[in-house]
Amino acid sequence: MTTATALAHPNIAFIKYWGNRDDALRIPQNGSISMNLAGLHTHTRVCFDPSYAVDSFTLNNLPQTGAGLERVSQFLDIVRTLAGKNWKAQVESANNFPTGAGIASSAAAFAALAVAASQAIGLDLDERRLSALARRGSGSASRSIPAGYVEWLPGNNDSDSYAVTLAPPAHWDLVDCIAVLKETHKLTGSSEGHLLAGSSPLQQARIGSCGERLQRCRRAIISRDFDALASVVELDSNLMHAVMMTSNPALFYWEPASIEIMKAVPEWRQSGLPACYTLDAGPNVHVLCPADHAAVVRSRLEIIPGVLQVLTATAGGGAHLTAED
């Protein structure tokens, strides 16, 4: 029996991943940039044993079956092929954030699983290979492997599509204030959504103009220019949601309170409070701001009708092994 445990944070995308060139390998149509979310994490223990007949998977102590187990098992198949071993595994995973709070848990989940499973089976993978491996489980998980502010280089094949650190967490003290609007699971998951991106007449325009937004975002991070970051982050979120809303079938992730916040935040900015919004494939609104403005942003979000709770996260580190429990 060989075991390993690892921890990884979810991340919030500043420049979004939406649509693949290769769905099986999760080679994205465009590069993306994100910040890891400290304080929120997934902790995963993997145990391989030649005597196990099947893979098993528990999430927050609840045994998983069906699609959840299948996705983990398929990911373990990739790890087994790399290692040339056919051992089955026991996977135990726990999130410290509310399950179903609409926080993208697949990024943290597959980043932690990639680190724990590869170590437990005896592979010695560097950060680049871990990121490419995590990508096979969930595209955005590639970005939860390196620390801090991260860019996923889209690449052309399995080995050159991986993420790198643009700047370490301490480079910029941004805070993500997450306005949680719904605690139920989203209707259309990201994996299904990526398949629909190409059916929107706007996707080609989004992809064609993405290089310029990536450049603006990189520069804003490097020079800690919040206004420059705010304009490109809001534009990129709106573009992705325009693609979602014009795909076939159309995907509408926003709730009325999402729009309230999207209208309020630029007004706050104009009146001197540095803050900007971005939304992933769900109604929750991530409001980014410098740390010294987080308390004000949080209290303003908390009184908006429809906001159930506000979680806050600073820039987080990369995925890493942890000591055995």
Give the range of 13-21, 52-60, 303-311, 315-323 binding ligand DP6 by CB under 6 A: 13-21
Quick check: 151 binds ligand DP6 (CB under 6 A)? Answer: no
CB proximity list for 321: less than 8 A, separation 6 or greater: 4, 5, 6, 115, 116, 119
Distance of closest approach, residue 50 Cβ to ligand DP6, in angstroms: 30
Using CB under 6 A, pick the residue from 4, 5, 19, 26 that binds ligand DP6.
Answer: 26
Distance of closest approach, residue 64 Cβ to ligand DP6, in angstroms: 16
Distance of closest approach, residue 123 Cβ to ligand DP6, in angstroms: 22
Using CB under 6 A, pick the residue from 27, 89, 210, 281 that binds ligand DP6.
Answer: 281
The closest of 158, 213, 224 to 14, measured between CA atoms, is 213
Distance of closest approach, residue 26 Cβ to ligand DP6, in angstroms: 5
CA angle (245 as vertex; 267, 105 as ends), nearest 5: 80
CB proximity list for 142: less than 8 A, separation 6 or greater: 111, 131, 132, 134, 135, 152, 161, 162, 163
If the CB atoms of residues 18 and 48 are measured against ligand DP6, the closer one turns out to be: 18
The span from the CA of 150 to the CA of 165, in Å, is 4
CB proximity list for 126: less than 8 A, separation 6 or greater: none
Distance of closest approach, residue 190 Cβ to ligand DP6, in angstroms: 3
Give the range of 14-22, 126-134, 165-173, 205-213 binding ligand DP6 by CB under 6 A: 14-22
Q: How far is CA 223 from the centre of its chain?
A: 24
CB proximity list for 38: less than 8 A, separation 6 or greater: 9, 169, 313, 314, 315, 316, 317
Distance of closest approach, residue 104 Cβ to ligand DP6, in angstroms: 5
If the CB atoms of residues 17 and 97 are measured against ligand DP6, the closer one turns out to be: 17
Number of residues counted as binding ligand DP6 (CB under 6 A):
16
The span from the CA of 325 to the CA of 4, in Å, is 10
Quick check: 280 binds ligand DP6 (CB under 6 A)? Answer: yes
Using CB under 6 A, pick the residue from 43, 194, 213, 298 that binds ligand DP6.
Answer: 194
- What is the footprint of ligand DP6 within residues 211-230 (CB under 6 A)? none
Distance of closest approach, residue 135 Cβ to ligand DP6, in angstroms: 8
88: helix, strand or coil: strand
Within 10 A of 271 (CB to CB), how many other CB atoms are there?
Answer: 7
- What is the footprint of ligand DP6 within residues 101-120 (CB under 6 A)? 104, 106
Is omega for the bond preceding 283 within 30 degrees of 0, making it cis?
no
The span from the CA of 176 to the CA of 16, in Å, is 16
- Residue ranges binding ligand DP6 (CB under 6 A): 13, 16-18, 26, 32, 104, 106, 138-140, 190-191, 194, 280-281
